[in-house]
Amino acid sequence: MTAPHCRTKIVATLGPASSDLDTIRDLALAGADVFRFNFSHGTHDDHAARYRIVRQVEKEIGRPIGILADVQGPKLRVGRFAEGRVVLETGRPFRLDLDETPGDVTRVSLPHHEIISVAKPGSVLLLDDGKLKLSVTTVGKDFLETEVVVGGTLSDHKGVNVPDLILPIPALTQKDRDDLDFALNLGVDFVALSFVQRAEDVVEARTLTNGRAWIVAKLEKPQAMDNLEAILDVTDAVMVARGDLGVELPPETVPLAQKRITRLARTLGKPVIVATQMLESMISAPTPTRAEASDVATAVYDGADAVMLSAESAAGKYPREAVTIMNRIVQSVEADKGWQAVMKAGRLEPENYVADAIAGAAEQIAGTLGAGAIVAYTRSGPTALRLARERPFSPILGVTPTETTARRLTLVWGVQAFVEDPGSHVHNTETMVTAAVEIAVRSGVTKPGDTIVIAAGMPFGVSGSTNTLRVARIPDADA
């Protein structure tokens, strides 16, 4: 049985615990709208097999499913130790250099000249997800002398974070380029770009994707927060990747960053995903903690387009339960009068152009009439995106002539997508209304006697031409 449709979408990561047909089908029926393929793990063959299964499930259940390819990005790591690990003591010196000789308690290789080239005395390096902290004391041509500020055990190839430096490295490594080429040829709908620092990182990826997928900029660096507006201007969507963001920013500022990103993305009509550790305890437990449930609810109250599961669905013991419970939390919030008041209070003023004025008017009319649905004819997605920006209480039925657009709309708040080519049988306003009524009935979200609001562009087939608004009524059952 399919879970009731929520306005806030669910992204579920696939992995070893969720790669077979039955599990992927169950996750989709439990409420997953988009499946994430994590290219930090698994082979191309693994991802290709999952892709085929997702598309099979999509046909079985009869609704579009989005697929997001998350490329790894540059991974900064220390080298190896002669004995596999050392214990660094607070207050002691420790050297990082380009020498590949296995390290000891006094030094280790740091095979990233880019860090050394921009570091300066006082720069901070965080090791192993922030568990250890070093402060640079001396910068050499091929080494850094540091003092251990927070000590602990450090083992081979642990990660390095540099929160206060902009590194002169591209957001896409050669591995990422290979993965990106593979994913695009496979036919993914979204590409998540890791460790974005500047708008230029997104522009580079956009050149490579060439319109074949929406770009999701992952915001996990303090530098990205400094350049947030510029990044949002050039990306299609964003992800609040709270894992690395939580390492490089003080913990107390992460919730503020999440709210700032969500607010600004919504203002610009760009979908935003809130990710990382949302139901973390469900990797090994059948139910989440109360704090985790509140975390998901907070993202929904903030108006996020989507909430995401990572290891919970990819490698945990309870992937089905994680999606089911996340869906139930979202449903509960969206049924709450307090959530409705928050959405209403946060509605934005339409911008000064026709399509946005139409979207704003559609929301107002739908609210006044208690419309059963808003039908949005959209070729490449902008009409549905503008309507979603208004956060209407009526479901948005996005009608598009292409599977590509329908799958991309799976990430957009409140939109249920339908593949239907209106240009093939809609020739005037009257036939447009007739077709919209048929789609509204088929969707199952309306009932006889309901009013629907229709937003479209005339003539059909011209992207970005939204200029028409109509109101129609679903015929009574005995009509």
Catalytically annotated residues: 36, 77, 218, 276
Residue with tokens 């609810």: 297
Cα dist from 319 to 9, 24, 141, 446, whole Å = 17, 10, 49, 32
Sheet strand arrangement including 451-457: 415-419, 396-400, 373-377, 451-457, 466-473
Which amino acid would we find at residue 280?
Answer: E
Measured distance CA(365)–CA(137) in Å, rounded: 64
Q: Which residues pair with 469 in a beta bridge?
A: 455
Q: What's the sign of the alpha-carbon dihedral 333, 336, 338, 339?
A: positive
Which residues, other chains included, contact 268 with Cβ-Cβ below 8 Å and sequence gap of 6+? 232, 233
Which residues, other chains included, contact 255 with Cβ-Cβ below 8 Å and sequence gap of 6+? none
How do 373-377 and 306-309 pair as beta strands?
Answer: unpaired
Measured distance CA(409)–CA(189) in Å, rounded: 10
Measured distance CA(325)–CA(414) in Å, rounded: 19
Provide DSSP, 36-95: EEETTSS-HHHHHHHHHHHHHHHHHHTS--EEEEE------B---BTTSEEEEPTT-EEE
Measured distance CA(406)–CA(57) in Å, rounded: 15
Contact 400, 418 (CB under 8 A): yes
